[in-house]
């Protein structure tokens, strides 16, 4: 007989263990702090020889995800609030009331877990993410929880406020973080999806990412045998990299891509791009429309051939572009995604690309109408 331990009890036990390990400096505490990290071989990959394609239930779930928005610059900052936003009940209520059906929730788990084995996630942070997930689910939304901005995994420079770990444990730590996340959320309804990683690139070559994703899926399946898992290709989830994505032999999968073409329009004036793209680029002429639509066409071809749905997890235009152009681009992208049957999530709610003004506590109506198929 198998006994299921309620999530509240599991979280309480984790809190007790963290408190005991921090307060008791005896020999056992020192031993726990020096626990050796497991090897990557302890996490066998799911075979990836004959992916079966998604069954009707997964296709139906993808269709039901419909129209979404990313809660960006919140929980994927080094610490919530460091990038100017925290998740507010106001945001959850506004998104649900407006008619969006999905929220993609980027989370920087790597900055809220131990640097050494056993790599325990901070229970307070886990509770915070859980409270957001539960409130979103309570409003009937689909929720896509991912792992975001684990910069060492990609081989990128760290953000201010982000700490490094031993390079030798980076991949194993990623897997053990997923083991904890998956176990914690194992009892949530099927409207909660796991996205293994946001925009793998650089250090994560196609071969390395395919191997690591197959191992991570195996970890997730130990506690979530039927939950839909979202996996994207390398090169920042570009559709052009889909042919290099080797999906595991698992039916309950959705692939994801991001599309920010034409980049000189969508990222004009973006301070984090070097060199900063010049401002003043309008949208959308025939060439720009063709550039924006090409990745979606490539993804549709891949989807038809693989038998798996595609989720357009990010697209959007930065606020340095003029509003009429942003509206035209947004409407075009929404129409193109829906014409191909793709659920989507706009990047993002309330920061530099935001469709919602957090200071005015109001939607930017032209953008919202473009996303929801309203207006001219």
Residue 15 has pLDDT above 90, yes or no: no
| Whether 78 contacts 108, CB under 8 Å | yes
Structure-token match 């038998």, residue found: 307
335-375: per-residue pLDDT in tens? 999 999 999 999 999 999 999 999 999 999 999 999 999 76
**Beta-strand (E) ranges in the chain?**
67-70, 102-105, 142-146, 192-195, 229-231, 253-258, 310-314, 344-346, 356-357, 362-363
Q: What is the pLDDT of residue 376?
A: 61
* Cα–Cα distance for residue pair 221/229, rounded to 1 Å: 10
With bands split at pLDDT 50, 70 and 90, how would you rate the model's confidence at 1?
Answer: very low
Q: What is the pLDDT of residue 242?
A: 98
Helix (H, G, I), strand (E, B) or coil at 29: helix
Residue 100's closest CA among 65, 74, 138?
A: 65
217-227: per-residue pLDDT in tens? 999 999 999 99
**pLDDT (mean) for 40-66:** 98
| Whether 251 contacts 55, CB under 8 Å | yes
Q: What is the pLDDT of residue 345?
A: 99
* Cα–Cα distance for residue pair 167/342, rounded to 1 Å: 37
Residue 94 has pLDDT above 60, yes or no: yes
Q: Residues in the chain, how many?
A: 376
349 Cα distance to chain centroid: 14
Q: What is the pLDDT of residue 193?
A: 99
Position with higher pLDDT, 43 vs 375: 43
With bands split at pLDDT 50, 70 and 90, how would you rate the model's confidence at 244?
Answer: very high
Q: What is the pLDDT of residue 34?
A: 52
| Whether 316 contacts 265, CB under 8 Å | no
Residue 14 has pLDDT above 80, yes or no: no
* pLDDT over 90 percentage in the chain: 89
Q: What is the pLDDT of residue 237?
A: 98
**pLDDT (mean) for 202-212:** 98
The lowest-confidence range among 6-15, 229-238, 253-262 is 6-15
| Whether 267 contacts 274, CB under 8 Å | no
> Which residues on neighbouring strands pair with residue 193, listed in sequence order?
144
**pLDDT (mean) for 129-151:** 98
* pLDDT over 70 percentage in the chain: 90
146-173: per-residue pLDDT in tens? 999 999 999 999 999 999 999 999 999 9
Residue 30 has pLDDT above 60, yes or no: no
**pLDDT (mean) for 250-256:** 99
With bands split at pLDDT 50, 70 and 90, how would you rate the model's confidence at 7?
Answer: low
DSSP sequence for 244-283: G----S-SSEEEEEE---SHHHHTTT-TTSSSPPPS----
The lowest-confidence range among 32-36, 190-194, 241-245 is 32-36
Q: What is the pLDDT of residue 24?
A: 32
Enzyme catalytic residues: 199, 314
Domains (range + CATH), the chain: 56-372 (3.20.20.80)
Residue 127 has pLDDT above 70, yes or no: yes
């Amino acid at each position: 007989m198998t006994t299921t331990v309620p999530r509240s009890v599991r979280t309480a036990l984790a809190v007790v263990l963290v408190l005991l390990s921090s307060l008791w400096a005896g020999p056992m505490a020192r031993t726990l702090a020096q626990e050796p990290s497991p090897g990557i071989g302890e996490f066998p990959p799911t075979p990836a020889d004959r992916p079966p394609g998604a069954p009707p239930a997964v296709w139906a779930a993808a269709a039901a995800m419909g129209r979404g928005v990313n809660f960006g610059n919140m929980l994927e900052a080094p610490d919530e609030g460091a990038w100017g936003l925290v998740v507010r009940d106001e945001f959850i209520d506004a998104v649900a009331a407006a008619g969006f059906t999905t929220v993609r929730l980027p989370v920087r788990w790597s900055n809220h877990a131990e640097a050494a084995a056993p790599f325990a996630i901070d229970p307070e942070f886990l509770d915070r993410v859980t409270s957001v997930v539960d409130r979103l689910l309570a409003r009937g939304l689909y929720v896509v929880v991912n792992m975001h901005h684990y910069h060492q995994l990609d081989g990128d420079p760290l953000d201010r406020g982000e700490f490094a770990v031993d390079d030798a444990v980076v991949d194993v730590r990623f897997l053990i973080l997923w083991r904890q996340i998956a176990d914690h959320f194992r009892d949530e309804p099927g409207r909660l999806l796991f996205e293994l990683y946001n925009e793998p690139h650089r250090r994560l070559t196609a071969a390395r990412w395919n191997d690591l994703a197959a191992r991570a899926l195996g970890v997730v399946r130990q506690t979530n045998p039927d939950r839909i898992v979202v996996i994207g290709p390398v090169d920042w989830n570009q559709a052009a990299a889909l042919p290099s994505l080797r999906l595991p032999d698992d039916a309950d999968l959705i692939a994801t891509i991001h599309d920010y073409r034409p980049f000189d329009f969508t990222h004009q004036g973006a301070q984090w791009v070097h060199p900063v793209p010049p401002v003043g680029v309008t949208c959308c002429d025939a060439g720009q429309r063709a550039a924006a639509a090409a990745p979606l066409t490539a993804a549709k071809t891949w989807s038809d051939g693989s038998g798996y749905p595609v989720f357009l997890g990010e697209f959007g235009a930065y606020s340095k572009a003029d509003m009429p152009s942003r509206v035209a681009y947004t409407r075009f992208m929404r129409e193109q995604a829906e014409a191909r049957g793709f659920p989507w999530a706009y990047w993002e709610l309330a920061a530099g690309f935001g469709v919602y003004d957090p200071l005015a506590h109001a939607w930017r109506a032209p953008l919202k109408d473009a996303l929801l198929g309203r207006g001219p």
